[in-house]
Each structure stands twice: as structure tokens, then as C-alpha cells.
């Protein structure tokens, strides 16, 4: 880890708390959900991380306490460094403040997460579906979303699958 990244990490820890970790050179700081806007603003305005690369979400169902994690990737073009902020959210009505006021491109990422995972971003300017049809019910990337799939056929279960499978009539 470069010296500048150590400085940024220690500043983030001091100002926003959290738990740092490093895996394969990727620096991650887990912070409280209520501090994401201020931490993002610090990264952009003071630490030189002028680009939000991505926001994604992870579902740790069936765990309800900390069921969802939001993972924010920030990039500094000047130092060619990436830092990751991770936020844990409760499984019941997950909601977090939007960061589109700091990074405008967060708009699309947050809409995608709302659409597919059902995590609400309060203060978002246009929180509506972006990938699924507007009348779609539910959020299909949640682990508790009903699947309604066809069983995968392997050599050991061909007979069972063929019994259940519907074929066109001749």
C-alpha cells in the first residue's frame, strides 16, 4: 500500500470510524451507513478520488442483521489508486442516503440497485426501475426472490427431468 493510501485510510478511520481490510491489494473500509455521503465527499474533495467507478450490492440472505452490503468503488486518476467503501444495511426495508449529489453518475448505479435488489436511496432524484419493466413486482437479484425455473438436466437425472418437462405435441 502506498504512503498516500495509508494517509487516506487513516484520515477516513479518524473521521468516519470503520474497519479497514486489505485483500489482494484492494483496500476496503467498512463504515456506518449514515456516514456514506460525508465519506464520499471527503474522498472526492480532499483525497482526490474524483471518480466513482461502481456501486454494487450483496445479499447475505437469510441473515437479516446486515443482510445487504453496498460496495462503493472510488478511483483516483492522479495516483492511479482504488479505494472501496463498504456499508452494511438491515434486511428489513433497507435504505441509505444517495450520493448522487457528490458523484452524479451514482444516479444510474443506485437505480440499478433499487431495481434489482430493492435497496431504497433516500434523496434520489429519480428512483425508478431501469432494467426491469415498470410494472414488475419484486426485486429479482434478492436471494429470497421466487425462481420458477426449469431443473437443469444432467446425465444422472435425465429420466426425472424428462417426466416433468413439457414437450410440443406432434
For the stretch 14-54, pLDDT in tens is: 899 888 888 888 889 999 999 999 999 999 999 999 999 99
> Which listed CATH number (3.30.930.10, 3.30.43.10, 3.30.70.2170, 3.30.460.80) goes with 3-143?
3.30.460.80
Q: CA torsion angle for 151, 156, 162, 165 (degrees, to 10)?
A: 0
Q: What tens digit of pLDDT does each residue of 89-147 get? A: 998 889 999 999 999 999 999 999 999 999 999 999 999 999 999 888 888 888 877 76
- As a whole number of Å, the end-to-end CA separation of the chain is 66
Compute the distance between CA of residue 153 and CA of residue 140 in angstroms, rounded to an integer. 23
pLDDT: which is higher, 43 or 162: 43
Residues contacting 162, CB < 8 A, separation 6+? 153
Instruction: Point out which residues pair with 23 in neighbouring strands.
Output: 26
Compute the distance between CA of residue 49 and CA of residue 62 in angstroms, rounded to an integer. 35
Residues 71-99: b if buried by 16+ CB within 10 A, e if exposed = ebbbbbeeeebbbbbbbbbebeebebbbb
pTM of the model: 0.83
Q: What tens digit of pLDDT does each residue of 69-88 get? A: 999 999 999 999 999 999 99
Query: What mean pLDDT do residues 58-63 have?
Result: 86
Domain ranges of the chain: 3-143
Amino acid at each position: 500500500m502506498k504512503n498516500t493510501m495509508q494517509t487516506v485510510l487513516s484520515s477516513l478511520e479518524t473521521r468516519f470510524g470503520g474497519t479497514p481490510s486489505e485483500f489482494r491489494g484492494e483496500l476496503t473500509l467498512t463504515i456506518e451507513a449514515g456516514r456514506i455521503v460525508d465519506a464520499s465527499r471527503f474522498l472526492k474533495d480532499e483525497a482526490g478520488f474524483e471518480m466513482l467507478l461502481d456501486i454494487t450490492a450483496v445479499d447475505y440472505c437469510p441473515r437479516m442483521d446486515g443482510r445487504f452490503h453496498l460496495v462503493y468503488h472510488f478511483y483516483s486518476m492522479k495516483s492511479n489508486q482504488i479505494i472501496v467503501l463498504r456499508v452494511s444495511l438491515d434486511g428489513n426495508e433497507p435504505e441509505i442516503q444517495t450520493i448522487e449529489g457528490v458523484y452524479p453518475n451514482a444516479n444510474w448505479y443506485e437505480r440499478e440497485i433499487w431495481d434489482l435488489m430493492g435497496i431504497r436511496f433516500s434523496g434520489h432524484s429519480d428512483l425508478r426501475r431501469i432494467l426491469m419493466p415498470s410494472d414488475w413486482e419484486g426485486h429479482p437479484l434478492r436471494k429470497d426472490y421466487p425462481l420458477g425455473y426449469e431443473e437443469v438436466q444432467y446425465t444422472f437425472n435425465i429420466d426425472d427431468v424428462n417426466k416433468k418437462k413439457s414437450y410440443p405435441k406432434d
